[in-house]
């Protein structure tokens, strides 16, 4: 049983395969967090938290117990204003203008399986995954406001999923200013380092790891999207934790909009770790009888270092977050015309690219930006989702038929959430974009953002997109979003609800994506936001892969794919071979290395195939052929990070197929060094007594590969790389 209630001790014990999480109700009133970590066997002990009397700067909220202060108490869901001076999980304003609330333990129930937060994405775990849900209910008796804390606990997937629901059973409205999904207090424990994934456009998901110190660490996005700048994820690690051993406590938010995650230590050495909706961008009017639910937060603990944590997220995301039809389905080798043509294409050019891609073994052609409206540059056309017949006189259908006749699939780019001021849609609906009356409408890439919370806008987009998909034999959609939100106001909301606009935007987006992906379950959807500006679990629930970055340089990609892999498995990452000099950084790298970097995830090509030399053509054809042989392992095997891109020995990672029979080792050199002995790489996760054979017929025992390591052949030039395939015999 994954959830145990100990009545006498008033404790709730949550157990996953390797983890325990314990909550105790203090004084019959306050649920406190007492333990999270390695799985425990437990005697019948109460008072797990030893609260002592502290000075009057930590006031006492209960007359009956002067040792008790919220300042020292590790609360399961902290509020603000009554002696808890850390960042709260909940902040409200009631109809009198007061922000006080006293959520006291009311009741609990245990449900079989789990339900998803209404209208939002989440992990599709069921009772068959050893998943049950504890709902702890707190109540403020003055406001008659209920707070339900949901904990879904999966034995099999080793995860605890939290969310919060607020129900207003009083007769006056309450304003919610902040409602987080998850918060954990580590009582008297501040021996941590904080890790997060930061970046920028073309530099997504770099790794930051620093000691927690004594000030707070805020990781957030206020951009209306999860963002290139920060991923909705935070981890606390022990100073000694590395890729293979040591404790990691992490939270990942299943949400695609503005968010916040925070870790801070208070004066008693109590560390608070939290994640949820961004507060600056949020407010919600909760009417009597109304309820509000947060997105869900995934809590993963690993005693086996960062690879241990990633392994848990990878399996969960592949098998229980991404849409079920795609959880085991191989992804096609694609070619995309963006870096080959940008906006400068016509029917003839596209057909020639399809011919060439087909002859090289590619399986899906993706027509990128520029096929619709009057879209000859990024200055116009967004919102006008009809084919540009001047550019493509035969229409989309003739192109998709052309690809299909060759046995290739045909895909299309959309940027549904945007509107160009120079578009028919804007001319007929100037109030459909996010804006504040009388204020300037800031443009980004010459475009404005549609008010996705409005039903009529969702319906317009659904009808236009669904018509194109069903009439033109579309097999794949790239769903882009190329700017962040400003002036987040809605023409459809009253003044007291204007601060709901950003969250309503995300709910509207989720509703639209839900309709489309359910209507077209056979279409492979890939999300994108100027590359990886919205690479988050919320998007993956609808669309099983994401364009990792607009940066296609194979050296830069090592950093980006390395960082991305902390949470997201290779099958969720789009990775393309592009031309040299690279369009973003002008670097020249060998075609083999560009291939190896892209083959580490979902392989694609994004370059003018017509310009390839015959030698390059041959190499590309071989890459595609080889990738088809190994892609099951790449896309569904266990990915392990070995050597970080910051190391001066090069970058390395490996993948082991789920049956352990195939092992792929990727090694990327950086700059060649004179007088260098080369690199010996120790592999992981092999069977010590099994024999493995390379493509050249060399045999090794697993123990040799893991403990003595494998000698990598010397590299021939800067940015050279090696891909070694081993098969168990």
DSSP-assigned states of every residue in 514-553: HHHHHH-TTSEEEE-BTTBTT-SHHHHHH-SEEE--S---
Of 341, 352, 359, the residue nearest 624 (C-alpha): 359
User: Can you tell me which of 220, 550, 556, 662 binds ligand GLA, judged by CB under 6 A?
Assistant: 550
- What is the Cα–Cα distance from 55 to 67, expressed in whole angstroms? 9
Minimum gap (Å) between residue 256 Cβ and ligand GLA: 16
* 21 φ/ψ angles, rounded to the nearest 5 degrees: -140, 125
Kindly tell me which of 235 and 419 has the beta carbon lying closer to ligand GLA: 419
Kindly tell me which of 225 and 686 has the beta carbon lying closer to ligand GLA: 225
Minimum gap (Å) between residue 369 Cβ and ligand GLA: 3
Minimum gap (Å) between residue 583 Cβ and ligand GLA: 11
Kindly tell me which of 158 and 369 has the beta carbon lying closer to ligand GLA: 369
Kindly tell me which of 158 and 229 has the beta carbon lying closer to ligand GLA: 229
Minimum gap (Å) between residue 412 Cβ and ligand GLA: 11
With CB under 6 A as the contact rule, which of the stretches 53-61, 104-112, 525-533, 618-626 interacts with ligand GLA? 525-533
Contacts of 614 (CB under 8 A, 6+ apart): none
Kindly tell me which of 24 and 368 has the beta carbon lying closer to ligand GLA: 368
H-run or E-run covering 397: helix 395-405
SS3 386: coil
Minimum gap (Å) between residue 596 Cβ and ligand GLA: 21
Minimum gap (Å) between residue 480 Cβ and ligand GLA: 5
Residue 429-468 contact track with ligand GLA, rule CB under 6 A, x = bound: ----------------------------------------
User: Can you tell me which of 30, 292, 476, 547 binds ligand GLA, judged by CB under 6 A?
Assistant: 547
CB neighbours (10 Å) of residue 728? 17
With CB under 6 A as the contact rule, which of the stretches 300-308, 488-496, 526-534, 686-694 interacts with ligand GLA? 526-534
With CB under 6 A as the contact rule, which of the stretches 79-87, 294-302, 523-531, 673-681 interacts with ligand GLA? 523-531
- What is the Cα–Cα distance from 230 to 208, expressed in whole angstroms? 10
Kindly tell me which of 323 and 531 has the beta carbon lying closer to ligand GLA: 531
Instruction: Show contacts with ligand GLA in window 401-430 (CB under 6 A).
Output: 413
Report if residue 338 touches ligand GLA, rule: CB under 6 A: yes
Kindly tell me which of 294 and 548 has the beta carbon lying closer to ligand GLA: 548
Minimum gap (Å) between residue 366 Cβ and ligand GLA: 9
User: Can you tell me which of 480, 536, 592, 720 binds ligand GLA, judged by CB under 6 A?
Assistant: 480
Count of residues of this chain found to bind ligand GLA when the rule CB under 6 A is applied: 11
Kindly tell me which of 20 and 554 has the beta carbon lying closer to ligand GLA: 554
Distances from the Cα of 601 to the Cαs of 331, 334, 370, 503, in angstroms? Answer: 10, 12, 27, 32
Q: What is the largest CA-CA distance in the chain?
A: 85
Of 172, 30, 161, 182, the residue nearest 92 (C-alpha): 172
H-run or E-run covering 667: strand 662-668
Minimum gap (Å) between residue 683 Cβ and ligand GLA: 34
What's the number of CA atoms in the CB half-sphere (13 Å) around residue 499? Answer: 16
Report if residue 530 touches ligand GLA, rule: CB under 6 A: yes
CB neighbours (10 Å) of residue 692? 24
- What is the Cα–Cα distance from 163 to 186, expressed in whole angstroms? 19
Kindly tell me which of 301 and 547 has the beta carbon lying closer to ligand GLA: 547
Report if residue 545 touches ligand GLA, rule: CB under 6 A: no
Pick the catalytic residue: 132, 140, 185, 480?
Answer: 480
User: Can you tell me which of 16, 190, 482, 484 binds ligand GLA, judged by CB under 6 A?
Assistant: 482
Report if residue 384 touches ligand GLA, rule: CB under 6 A: no
Minimum gap (Å) between residue 547 Cβ and ligand GLA: 6
Kindly tell me which of 338 and 639 has the beta carbon lying closer to ligand GLA: 338
Four-residue CA torsion sign, 546, 551, 554, 558 = negative
- What is the Cα–Cα distance from 221 to 202, expressed in whole angstroms? 17
Q: Is 135 exposed, middle or buried (0-12, 13-18, 19+ CB in 10 A)?
A: middle
Report if residue 531 touches ligand GLA, rule: CB under 6 A: yes
Instruction: Show contacts with ligand GLA in window 354-373 (CB under 6 A).
Output: 368-369
Minimum gap (Å) between residue 276 Cβ and ligand GLA: 28
Kindly tell me which of 116 and 392 has the beta carbon lying closer to ligand GLA: 392
Distances from the Cα of 74 to the Cαs of 58, 78, 570, in angstroms? Answer: 14, 9, 37
Report if residue 604 touches ligand GLA, rule: CB under 6 A: no
* Alpha-carbon Rg for the chain in angstroms: 27
Kindly tell me which of 164 and 527 has the beta carbon lying closer to ligand GLA: 527
Minimum gap (Å) between residue 230 Cβ and ligand GLA: 19
Q: What DSSP state is assigned to residue 144?
A: T
User: Can you tell me which of 136, 235, 528, 599 binds ligand GLA, judged by CB under 6 A?
Assistant: 528
Strand order in the sheet with 691-694: 638-643, 651-656, 662-668, 721-728, 691-694, 699-701
Told to judge if 536 belongs to the known catalytic residues of this protein, a careful annotator would answer no
Residue whose beta carbon is closest to ligand GLA: 369
The residue to which tokens 């938010």 are assigned: 253
CB neighbours (10 Å) of residue 325? 12
Q: Is 240 exposed, middle or buried (0-12, 13-18, 19+ CB in 10 A)?
A: exposed
With CB under 6 A as the contact rule, which of the stretches 273-281, 487-495, 528-536, 612-620 interacts with ligand GLA? 528-536
Pick the catalytic residue: 71, 550, 553, 638?
Answer: 550
Of 538, 565, 572, 573, the residue nearest 257 (C-alpha): 538
Minimum gap (Å) between residue 482 Cβ and ligand GLA: 5
- What is the Cα–Cα distance from 663 to 647, expressed in whole angstroms? 23
Told to judge if 431 belongs to the known catalytic residues of this protein, a careful annotator would answer no
- What is the Cα–Cα distance from 174 to 290, expressed in whole angstroms? 10
Of 525, 483, 504, 500, the residue nearest 120 (C-alpha): 504
User: 199-238: buried (b, 16+ CB within 10 Å) or exposed (e) per residue?
Assistant: bebbbbbbbeeeebeeeebebbbbbbbbbbbbbbbbbbbb
Kindly tell me which of 482 and 554 has the beta carbon lying closer to ligand GLA: 482
Paired sense of beta strands 602-605 and 284-286, if any: unpaired
Instruction: Show contacts with ligand GLA in window 31-90 (CB under 6 A).
Output: none
- What is the Cα–Cα distance from 160 to 130, expressed in whole angstroms? 12
With CB under 6 A as the contact rule, which of the stretches 49-57, 358-366, 524-532, 609-617 interacts with ligand GLA? 524-532
With CB under 6 A as the contact rule, which of the stretches 240-248, 270-278, 527-535, 660-668 interacts with ligand GLA? 527-535
H-run or E-run covering 560: helix 554-564
Minimum gap (Å) between residue 354 Cβ and ligand GLA: 18
Which positions are annotated as active-site residues? 480, 550
Residues in contact with ligand GLA by the rule CB under 6 A: 338, 368-369, 413, 480, 482, 528, 530-531, 547, 550
């Amino acid at each position: 049983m994954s959830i145990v209630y100990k009545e006498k001790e008033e404790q709730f014990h949550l157990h996953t395969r390797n983890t325990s999480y314990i909550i105790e109700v203090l004084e019959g009133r306050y649920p406190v967090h007492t333990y999270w970590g390695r799985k425990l066997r437990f005697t019948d002990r109460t008072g797990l938290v030893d609260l002592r009397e502290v000075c009057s700067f930590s006031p006492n909220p209960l007359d009956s117990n002067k040792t008790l202060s919220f300042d020292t108490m590790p609360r399961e869901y902290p509020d603000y204003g009554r002696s808890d001076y850390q960042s709260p999980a909940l902040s409200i304003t009631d109809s009198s203008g007061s922000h006080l609330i006293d959520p006291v333990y009311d009741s609990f129930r245990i449900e079989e399986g789990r339900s998803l937060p209404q209208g939002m994405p989440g992990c599709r775990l069921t009772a068959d995954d050893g998943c049950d849900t504890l709902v702890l209910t707190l109540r403020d008796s003055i406001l008659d406001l209920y707070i339900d804390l949901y904990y879904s606990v999966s034995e099999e997937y080793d995860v605890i999923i939290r969310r919060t629901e607020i129900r207003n059973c009083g007769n006056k409205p309450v304003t919610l200013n902040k409602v987080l999904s998850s918060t954990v207090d580590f009582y008297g424990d501040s021996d941590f380092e904080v890790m997060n994934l930061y970046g920028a456009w073309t530099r997504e998901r770099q790794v930051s790891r620093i000691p927690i110190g004594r000030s707070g660490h805020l990781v957030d996005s206020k951009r209306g999207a999860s963002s290139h700048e920060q991923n909705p994820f935070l981890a606390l690690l022990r100073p000694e934790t590395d890729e293979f051993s040591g404790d990691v406590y992490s939270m990942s938010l299943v949400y695609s909009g503005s968010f916040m995650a925070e870790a801070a230590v208070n004066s008693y050495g109590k560390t608070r770790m939290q994640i949820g909706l961004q507060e600056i961008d949020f407010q919600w009017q909760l009417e009597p009888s109304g309820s509000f639910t947060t997105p869900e937060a995934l809590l993963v603990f690993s005693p086996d270092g960062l690879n241990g944590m990633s392994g848990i997220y990878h399996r969960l995301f592949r098998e229980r977050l991404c849409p079920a039809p795609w959880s085991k389905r191989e992804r096609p080798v694609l070619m995309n015309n963006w870096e080959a043509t940008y906006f400068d294409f016509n029917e003839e050019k596209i057909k020639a690219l399809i011919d060439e891609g087909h002859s090289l073994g590619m399986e899906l052609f993706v027509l990128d930006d520029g096929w619709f409206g009057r879209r000859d540059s990024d200055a116009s056309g967004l919102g006008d989702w009809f084919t540009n017949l001047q550019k493509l006189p035969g229409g989309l259908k003739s192109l998709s038929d052309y690809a299909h006749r060759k046995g290739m699939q045909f895909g299309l780019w959309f940027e549904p959430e945007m509107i160009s001021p120079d578009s028919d849609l804007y001319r007929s609906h100037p109030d459909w974009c996010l804006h504040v009356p009388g204020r300037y409408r800031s443009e980004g890439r010459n475009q404005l953002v549609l008010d996705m919370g409005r039903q009529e806008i969702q319906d317009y987009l659904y009808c236009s997109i669904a018509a194109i998909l069903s009439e033109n034999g579309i097999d794949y959609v790239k769903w882009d979003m190329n700017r962040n939100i400003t002036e987040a106001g809605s023409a459809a909301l009253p003044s007291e609800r204007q601060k709901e606009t950003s969250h309503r935007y995300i709910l509207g987006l989720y509703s639209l994506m839900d309709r489309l992906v359910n209507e077209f379950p056979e279409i492979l959807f890939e999300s994108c936001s100027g590359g990886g500006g919205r690479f988050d679990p919320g998007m993956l629930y609808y669309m099983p892969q994401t364009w990792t970055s607009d940066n296609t340089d194979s050296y830069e990609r090592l950093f980006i794919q390395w960082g991305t892999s902390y949470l997201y498995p290779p099958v969720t990452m789009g990775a393309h071979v592009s031309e040299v000099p690279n369009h973003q950084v002008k670097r020249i790298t060998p075609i083999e290395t560009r291939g190896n970097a892209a083959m580490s995830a979902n392989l694609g090509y994004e370059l003018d195939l017509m310009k390839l030399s015959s030698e390059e053509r041959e190499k590309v054809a071989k890459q595609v052929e080889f990738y088809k042989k190994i892609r099951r392992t790449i896309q569904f095997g266990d990915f392990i990070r070995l050597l970080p891109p910051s190391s001066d020995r090069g970058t390395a990672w490996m993948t082991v197929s789920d049956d352990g029979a195939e092992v792929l080792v990727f090694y990327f050199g950086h700059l060649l060094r004179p007088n260098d002995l080369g690199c010996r790489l120790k592999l992981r996760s092999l069977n010590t007594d099994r024999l493995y054979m390379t493509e050249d017929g060399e045999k090794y025992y697993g123990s040799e590969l893991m403990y003595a390591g494998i000698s990598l052949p010397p590299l021939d030039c800067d940015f050279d790389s090696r891909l070694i395939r081993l098969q168990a015999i």
